[in-house]
Homo-oligomer: A and B are copies of this chain.
Amino acid sequence: MAGASFWSQFELRQLRCFVAAAEELHFGRAAARMNMTQPPLSRQIQLLEHVMGVKLLDRTSRAVKLTPAGRVFLLEARRILRLTESAALATRRIASGEAGTITLGFTAASGYSFLPMLLLQRASHAPNIDVALKEMVSTDQAESLLTGRIDVGLLRPPIARTEFTTLKVSEERLVAALPVGDPRLVQATLTLKDFDHQPLVMYAAEGARYFHDMLTGLFEAAGAAPIPIQSLSQIHSMLALVRAGIGAALVPEAAQSLHFDDVHFRPVETDPIAPVELFAAWRSDNDNPALEAFLDLLRPESIEDLEALAAEEH
């Protein structure tokens, strides 16, 4: 095998021996620090000098000195060894879930209320977990969960995949968005009957299937029938139409944070009092170590925490 001279690469053990010898300037003490005897340490350093092709230590039987090249190499060796330690540390932190990156899918509507609270919670309870955000509709989230493009999705039911574990993370009431001057604004609270035969900006069946189906069901159960004016999927677009006086809209209460001028909100009584549900879903076999720590943020006790925290903000 002629590869010997070709394989000119040192090993970390040799670096550790060299650093010990360079710092002690005494092979015996250096060997003791390395928990070995002096002869092997001598050999490790000879080997290192051989593969480097450079004399690193000037040794007489009376004194050990660094050569100029050895001085430079000592600095480099220390840097390398420091780096190996920090690399091991960082990797173990990732593996333990202490740190890491979670890729999170979320729907536009959840970005108004739940997501900000969640990120606030993360900043204080899991600061080493990075969260990469990807806005997408619920069906795309399910697809992305399967392929691994996102670790966790914040999405609307139904979620019918056996590969997923799910957790309800929030329930919201519906509120009515009404333009300034709408006569229904005199009431403190509305019912679905108040929208019977009235123009209503509606959700699109494709882009916002969940809200579309939910409202359809609610109105049917309540025996009321609004006049659908326009079908949209983005809540802020719907509010813009409301502001233009085209009609009312029914939106999750968190949408009030959008603060459109000349658009006012009133609570609406519905059969389940908080019909707007948001679920977290993730692949049961997801091996991202940061997942467990991230999911802790979603557990009920954490949710209460963060809702209390959000309340204090006001």
Q: Which residues of A contact B (CB under 8 A)?
A: 3, 9-13, 16, 35, 52-56, 58, 67-69, 72-73, 76-77, 79-80, 83-84, 86-88, 90-92, 94-95, 100-101, 287-290
Contact = CB atoms under 8 A, between A and B. Distances in A.
A67 B10 contact: no
A76 B94 contact: no
Given A9-B84, A12-B12, A76-B91, A3 B35 contact: yes
A55 B73 CA distance: 32
Top 4 A-B pairs, shortest CB-CB distance: A76-B87, A69-B95, A54-B95, A73-B91
Tell me which of A3, A84, A90, A91 has the highest count of chain B C-beta atoms within 10 A of its own C-beta: A91
24 contacts: A3-B35, A10-B12, A10-B84, A10-B88, A11-B11, A54-B91, A54-B94, A54-B95, A67-B95, A67-B287, A68-B94, A68-B287, A68-B288, A68-B289, A68-B290, A69-B91, A69-B95, A72-B91, A72-B94, A73-B90, A76-B87, A79-B87, A80-B80, A80-B83
A52 B91 contact: yes
Contacts of A86: 76
A9 B100 CA distance: 23
Contacts of A55: 95
A295 to B, nearest CB: 15
Contacts of A100: 68
Tell me which of A35, A83, A87, A287 has the highest count of chain B C-beta atoms within 10 A of its own C-beta: A87
B90 A83 contact: no
Contacts of A11: 11-13
A87 B53 CA distance: 13
B287 A58 contact: yes
Given A35-B3, A69-B95, A87 B83 contact: no
B90 A76 contact: yes
Contacts of A290: 68
Nearest to A290: B68
A100 B68 CA distance: 8
A243 B72 CA distance: 49
Contacts of A90: 72-73, 76
Nearest to A7: B35
A79 B87 CA distance: 9
Nearest to A72: B94
A141 to B, nearest CB: 20
A52 B94 CA distance: 12
Contacts of A84: 9-10, 80
A146 to B, nearest CB: 16
A72 B86 CA distance: 12
Given A12-B11, A79-B83, A94-B72, A88 B52 contact: yes
